[in-house]
Amino acid sequence: MSVRRALEIFALEGVPLVEPGDDLAGLILASLADCGRHLQDHDIVVIAQKVVSKAEGRGVDLAAVTPSPRAVEIAAQAHKDPRIVELILAESSEVLRVRPGVIIVEHRLGLVLANAGIDRSNVEGETALLLPLDPDGSAQQIREQLIAGTGATVGVMIIDSIGRAWRNGTIGTTIGASGIATMRDLRGQPDLFGRKLETTEVGAADEVAAAASLLMGQAAEATPVVVVRGVDLAGIGTARDLLRPKHMDLFR
Amino acid sequence: MSVRRALEIFALEGVPLVEPGDDLAGLILASLADCGRHLQDHDIVVIAQKVVSKAEGRGVDLAAVTPSPRAVEIAAQAHKDPRIVELILAESSEVLRVRPGVIIVEHRLGLVLANAGIDRSNVEGETALLLPLDPDGSAQQIREQLIAGTGATVGVMIIDSIGRAWRNGTIGTTIGASGIATMRDLRGQPDLFGRKLETTEVGAADEVAAAASLLMGQAAEATPVVVVRGVDLAGIGTARDLLRPKHMDLFR
């Protein structure tokens, strides 16, 4: 990775509300044109999970969901709608913790997160929005379209706001990536005094995700696409590289 | 918090190697002058833990450390220098996990992190560098000096690269803060469809820390001071606000 001494991070203006079936790359290209912005090589286009899920039709009508007995039981512990819990279970490979208001799971994508990332905010009516089926794949597809449409070799990331052990508050976190070395491995590099760094691997994509999240907002800001310029993470990583394998994890 | 539609993040050039007793705020003011930069209201000045610790004389000569029997025992499990383990234990309120290469503790500051944040990189000779005694206090002191020296009402953060449960790689994380609302509480705010957000609290300062970390590097880059412009987090929070109280934590 090379980094210049300054970063610019800007939100695309005028991205319309996204509907199922929308061509997200097309909307991004139109917004770029509208605000007179051009993508450059090594730009990272960061997209909120919510609009990817919407475009991919990942909304589920809660009226069509019949909770299983297990979902009903966990819903009682978690004080949640059993239909939402049914969806959480269907999206997860393991339930790690259940407390009033929250179910911490390992999502089928390998992410450890609350309520399987299922979201009812910024969603109309009795609909729950699931994470994209394959966020790394979605990022790759959008990236190819953006490269074709602009000629710039950009990276693409899909991010969500995810809670953490030990610390209050969510932060923007990578759930899909394409064309990005998501991890920086500094092991073996010399420090200022020539001593080799021993254990430093940096979750660089997650640092980009957190930075972009500052401009996305969470509520009615409606700026789901942010461009990060000045960090060159060009490479072949995916969001999966950021997942610590279960057998190496000390905190489950 | 208000956020503009673009952020600028820049590293200060020419900050010299920091020595014990150095006036860090003075060095920052000199670097700003050297590179013709001016601080503005709401800028957040983000400083690497390492230089704060160095300036505050938090280096410990390992030759002067006598490990306790408990340190020797844990050092054997962790395959670490018993003298380093002695320092880790002295800096910690609780040992959470011990594995070869790593000791996860609750630091006396409340942070959960590996090896109590004790670092031997970028440190000369047989010296280990401890975290600042009171990073929130250090941030406050530096902030007052920067405001006095520039007239700009800035915030100050001190950050370190910290590992996480479930995910690979460290990311820049807040360990000290002054003049910043470190958490954004969005609960009760309407979303795009007027539905109230239920649980959204954002660890905004940690997003700033991660963003700034992208420009700091870890090895020989020597850019320990970064300015984040365009995120208004003005407020009265501290890094402690980001610590989840132990009794509310599900993953210890």
ipTM of the complex: 0.94
Listed as ranges, residues in chain B with pLDDT below 70 are 1-4, 121-125, 187-199, 217-221
User: What is the gyration radius of the CA atoms in chain B, in angstroms?
Assistant: 19
Q: Please say if the pLDDT value at position A222 is more than 80.
A: no
**Which amino acid, one-letter code, is at A53?**
S
3-state class of A244 per DSSP?
Answer: coil
At position A161, the amino acid (one-letter code) is S
Give residue A184's pLDDT band: very low, low, confident or very high (50, 70, 90).
confident
Q: Which of B1, B3, B4, B7 to mutate to test the interface with A (most CBs of A within 10 A)?
A: B7
Chain mean pLDDT for chain A: 90
Q: Which of B6, B172, B189 sits opposite A8 (nearest CB)?
A: B6
Question: Do A220 and B189 make contact, defined as CB atoms within 8 angstroms?
Answer: yes
For B72, the 3-state DSSP assignment is: helix
Q: Do B112 and A166 touch (CB under 8 A)?
A: yes
- What pLDDT is stored for residue A219 in this prediction? 47
Mutate to test the interface with B, among A166, A173, A246 (most CBs of B within 10 A): A166
CB A44 within 8 A of CB A38: no
Contact A220 B3 (CB under 8 A): no
Select from B97, B197, B244 the Cβ nearest to the Cβ of A167: B244
Instruction: List the beta bridge partners of residue B178.
Output: B156
At A84-112, the pLDDT tens digits run: 999 999 999 999 999 998 999 999 999 99
In chain B, which residue's Cα lies nearest the Cα of A103?
B250
The pLDDT, as a whole number, for residue B199 is 58
CATH numbers and ranges of domains, chain A: 2-52+134-244 (3.30.1330.100), 60-128 (3.90.1660.10)
**In B, which residues are within 8 Å of A200 by CB distance?**
121, 161, 170, 218-219
Interface A:B, Cβ pairs < 8 A: 250
Residues of A in contact with B5 (CB under 8 A): 10-11, 13, 215, 223
- In this prediction, residues A204-222 reach a mean pLDDT of 84
pLDDT over 90 at A187, yes or no:
no
Question: pLDDT at position B219, please?
Answer: 47
Q: Determine, for residues B207 and A214 on separate chains, whether the beta-carbon distance falls below 8 Å.
A: yes
Element (H, E) at A137: helix A135-150
Are A206 and B231 within 8 A, CB to CB? no
- For chain A, the residue count is 252
**CB A198 within 8 Å of CB A186:** no
Angstrom distances, CA of residue B180 to CA of A102, B1, B239: 28, 10, 9
- Residue B86 and residue B197: Cα distance in Å, rounded? 46
Contact yes or no for A192 and B17 at CB 8 A: yes
Which residues, at least 6 apart from A204, have a Cβ–Cβ distance to it below 8 Å?
A1, A181, A182, A183, A184, A231, A233, B169, B214
